[in-house]
A and B are shown apart, each in its own frame.
Chain A
Amino acid sequence: MYKTIIIIVILISNLLAQKTFDQKILEAREKVFPALVHIQPIKEVFTSGEKRHVQVTGSGVIISKEGLVVTNNHVAEQARFVNCTLSSKHEVEAEVVGLDPWTDLAVLKLDLEKAGLKKVPYAEFGDSDKLEVGRIVMALGSPLGLSRSLSLGVISSIERYFDDVGEMVSPFNLWIQTDAAINPGNSGGPLIDLNGKIIGINARAMIFGENLGFAIPSNTVKYVIEQIKKYGEVERSYIGVDWQEIKEYRLYKNQPDLEGVLIASVEPNSPAEKAGLKPGDLITKINQKKVSALYKEELPKIRLLISNLPIDSKITFEALTKDGNKEITLVTQKQGKFSGNEFVCDEWGLSVKEITPRIVKNFQLDSDKGVLISSLRRGGKADEARVRRGYVLVSVNGQEIQDLEDFKEKYKTYSEEKNESYLLFLQFAKRNWFALIEGDSK
């Protein structure tokens, strides 16, 4: 008799369990779905020597009742207007509160008042440090513009590391990998668990890969949102060091218990260079705290240790150098802009861009003086004078250009005096070019 009851109980609970699984998906969905946002920003892009507008599609999720929305930087950057469609199909305008290209995150604020809304439903974050591979997750968003879509999968990895490639950087975080389908348009949408909590913001997928999607962990997202809410941006300390893991260095040194992180590269004129840090130094402690990175996946943690310090902080490194143990102290700087402002010179038929530290590094420039030619109008004056994209404008009529602001000011005069001719001196790679912008009267 007891046996029969137990069997019945087990059967019923099994049935219930099956139902619960389905139910759980629906319940989780129900917690986040109302907060899902379909985002269509109008972006300003500088192309062909002029400012043009393009519309893109992305996703986002509301994270507070006042209407803060989190999405990707690559969705919201350069946005002039951001049009959001809520799950309730309300169309609401939003403004960009702050962008963080280093983590590919952005925070928007919905204009609820204008839309006649008092409050909006929002979703909550989970703890991404407690994730496990194999857990069921769902991706919400607008893949290829197909709004309010949901896809299901599991967490495939919780510590995926990507090296920086061009504009695709993620120095400060690891990625959650999922096989829930993620397509362009999913960007900025939430990855949620069965509790209906946001555990990540979907941002990338592998081209030619199948079911290889990547999300920024929620704990990184929470930190960035807090910073943006406070300062409008994420302020980071910078010292100018590229780090390298020591798994093989240990073997090379034949010291299997060695702890620390290796300096691979030191940027010229950086605080690290000035303080005497050198490639090959092994850093064992940062501000008295032991540090070690055996694998690449441990590098973001070390970078955060420095970047999260307030700007102008004193840092003390304990280093194993070629000349023995050393203690090196330096003061951090504010990390430079990710991408600079642009400016259109309509008269000359080109656009120029601020030279940021990243441009100095990637273009291997000697200094940050001048402005970068970012686009040209075909058949325009500059194009005819064979100015090319990627050249650095160093001087005009022998007058050095310091930076974008300096150039803007000078260009005002140039564009007013249309009859004058201007000789531009430009550099690219290790070579120079003279370009003559002819005056109109000639």
Chain B
Amino acid sequence: MKRLTLYIFISIVFIQNVWAGWDSKVKKIQDKIVIIEYFEQIISFEAIVEKERAKKQITGIVVNDSGLIMTSSSIFKANLEFNSVFSMFGQAEKPTDIRVKLHNGNSLPAEFIGKDDDKELAFIRLNKPEGIKPLKFKDKSNLKLGSEVLIIQHLPEDFNYEFIVYPRRINSIISKPQKKYLCENNIKALSHFGLVLNEDGDAVGIINSEKRMPEISFDVPELAFNQPVEIVLYDMFSELVDDPPVFKEKDTARKKWLGIYMQPFDRKMAAYYKNDDLKGVLVNTIITDSPAENAGLLAGDIITAIDNVEVAAEKDSDLEEFRKLIREQKDSNVIFKVFRDTKLFDVKVELGATPISQYLADEVSNETLGLSVKELTQDIILAKQLDWEMEGVWVSKVERAGWVDVAGLSVGDLVLQINDKSVSNLDSVNECFQKIENEKPDYVSFFIKRDSGTQYLFVKTNFDEKMELDSNTN
């Protein structure tokens, strides 16, 4: 009899689950999925003071009791760290006037907390959480090829920002270098961010794949349309939820850095080195003043292990794994096993913090002359083919038809001297600007480097007219 009760009980639970369709699954989580409204500064290289901004929306998920909300890092597009690719988004600004629209129609203010560029996730926090319960992700998920999942996103304004819920199956599982779950994707939602539930209605992960343009090449590019979407499981970001990254301008904690360029070391290479079993990562470039140089690594070295963890790169995607391993090291002091000149030996390396990108670089502006300059960062040094150790400042903005623009100064020019005074940092630039404001000369000279040569530009000023304009407006 007892057994029969148990059977009945089990079957009721089972039937309930089957009966519990999408509706009830969505009801369970609907107040935890929110729309984040924010303003993005419209960046122009031609205006010193930014005035225009665009209103944007993106889906977010409430992930803890204190009102922490997780979303895509596209909310703040700047690449904060130097990663060898020169990015236009170096100029992006932090999102402002953030408001969170809840399912019940309430709209609450929130602030930006921080982001992780590697994981492409950002966090904001409600100023007053007001007892909103967070979404709990399931620790372990057991997704297999063909498993059904339910994806929840918002629709755009035309559809009144309603939820859109659709089932997908895991169409492909990529095993290397990192396990990836892919499914087909053809819904144009409010944003590319969304929640993923498993068959039982448990939150198991997110989708967060912004469609990227394929790498530019002379081959006919395969268009990025109809690319599968990746399901990012909870264990990939659980640490961030527990300890979210905090953006503090230049003091933002940065990931570990070695300071090399590398390439795969494949079986053919191993055969060339007459060492068929040798596996590793081939170092081809050492950045000056980097942890790699300080540790004595050389171009041509083959790194075979880090703290006894073997590393091997047969192809480009394997290099990503190596990069991740370095970036996510907890301890700065690591021991590399290196193959050089037929010998294997240990090298002590003290990893540093990844250099900042131009976004985090300090900037000095002068509205009178109509320009902004920034201190040199590694990404600009690379883009302009300067010496790695070079110090200096470069023109980051030029006010359209402003004084320096008329004289021919362009964004990207490296400023070497102002009024015959050498400038190698922002302090010296500030001094020069101060002096110009005080002395009001008729002409200001800029000695610059552009491409492979240097040249002088003479900027005609017009302080008289400026003073007239200023007094009129006052």
A residues near B (Cβ < 8 Å) are 242, 244, 248-249, 251-252, 254, 262, 264-265, 279-280, 322, 361-362, 364, 421, 423, 425, 429-434, 436, 438, 442
Contacts and interface: CB of A to CB of B under 8 A. Distances in A.
Given A279-B447, A364-B385, A433-B263, A249 B285 contact: no
Contact of B452 (A362, A425, A434, A442): A362
A252 B385 contact: no
B214 interface: no
Interface string B412-427: 0000010010000000
B458 A252 contact: yes
B272 interface: yes
B221 interface: no
B453 A430 contact: no
Contacts of A434: 263, 269, 282, 284, 300
Given A265-B453, A265-B454, A433 B271 contact: no
Contact of B443 (A248, A364, A431, A442): A248
A280 B261 contact: no
B8 interface: no
Given A280-B417, A430-B381, A442-B268, 9 more contacts: A248-B460, A249-B456, A249-B458, A264-B454, A265-B455, A364-B452, A421-B272, A433-B284, A438-B268
Contact of A244 (B385, B455, B460): B455
B366 interface: no
B442 A264 contact: no
A423 B272 contact: yes
B458 A248 contact: yes
Q: Which of B272, B299, B385, B388 has the most CB of A within 10 A?
A: B272
A264 B456 contact: yes
A394 to B, nearest CB: 10
Contacts of A431: 261, 284-285
Given A431-B261, A432-B261, A434-B282, A262 B443 contact: no
A322 B271 contact: no
Interface in B410-448: 417, 420, 442-445, 447
Interface of B: 261, 263, 268-269, 271-272, 282, 284-285, 299-300, 381-382, 385-388, 407, 417, 420, 442-445, 447, 451-456, 458, 460
Nearest to B419: A252
A252 B445 contact: yes
B272 A242 contact: no
Nearest to A366: B387
Contact of B271 (A264, A280, A421): A421
Contact of B453 (A249, A264, A425): A264
A143 B116 CA distance: 60
B452 A430 contact: no
Contacts of A421: 268, 271-272
A442 B442 contact: no
8 contacts: A248-B443, A280-B417, A280-B420, A280-B447, A425-B300, A431-B284, A433-B263, A436-B269
A436 B284 contact: no
Nearest to B455: A264
Contact of A251 (B282, B442, B452, B453): B442
Which 3 pairs, one residue from A and one from B, show the smallest C-beta to C-beta distance?
A248-B458, A252-B443, A265-B453
A251 B272 contact: no
Nearest to A420: B272
A436 B272 contact: yes
Contacts of A265: 453-455
A244 B456 contact: yes
Contacts of A252: 443-445, 458
A439 B269 CA distance: 12
Contacts of B447: 279-280
Nearest to B408: A248
Contacts of A254: 442-443
A442 B285 CA distance: 28
A425 B381 CA distance: 22
B406 to A, nearest CB: 11
A252 B299 CA distance: 48
A302 B420 CA distance: 25
Given A322-B420, A430-B385, A279 B454 contact: yes
A430 B388 CA distance: 8
Contacts of B407: 248
B39 to A, nearest CB: 37
Contacts of B460: 248, 251
Contacts of B388: 430
A250 to B, nearest CB: 9
A432 B284 contact: yes
B385 A429 contact: yes
Contacts of B300: 425, 434
Contacts of A322: 420
A429 B456 contact: no
A436 B268 contact: yes
Contacts of B458: 248-249, 251-252
A251 B263 contact: no
Given A421-B271, A430-B285, A430-B388, A251 B443 contact: yes
Contacts of A433: 263, 284
A431 B382 CA distance: 9
A265 B454 CA distance: 5
A433 B385 CA distance: 16
A187 to B, nearest CB: 27
A252 B441 CA distance: 9
Contacts of B420: 280, 322
Contacts of B443: 248, 251-252, 254
B456 A280 contact: yes
A431 B455 CA distance: 27
Contacts of A280: 417, 420, 447, 456
A242 B445 CA distance: 18
Contact of A361 (B269, B284, B417, B452): B452
Contacts of A262: 456
B71 to A, nearest CB: 35
B390 to A, nearest CB: 11
A364 B390 CA distance: 15
Nearest to B454: A265
Contacts of A438: 268
A432 B271 CA distance: 21
B449 to A, nearest CB: 9
A442 B276 CA distance: 13
B454 A432 contact: no
Contacts of A442: 268, 271
A436 to B, nearest CB: 6
Contacts of A279: 447, 454, 456
Contacts of B452: 361-362, 364
A127 B121 CA distance: 72
A252 B459 CA distance: 8
Contacts of A244: 455-456
A140 B282 CA distance: 60
Nearest to A434: B284
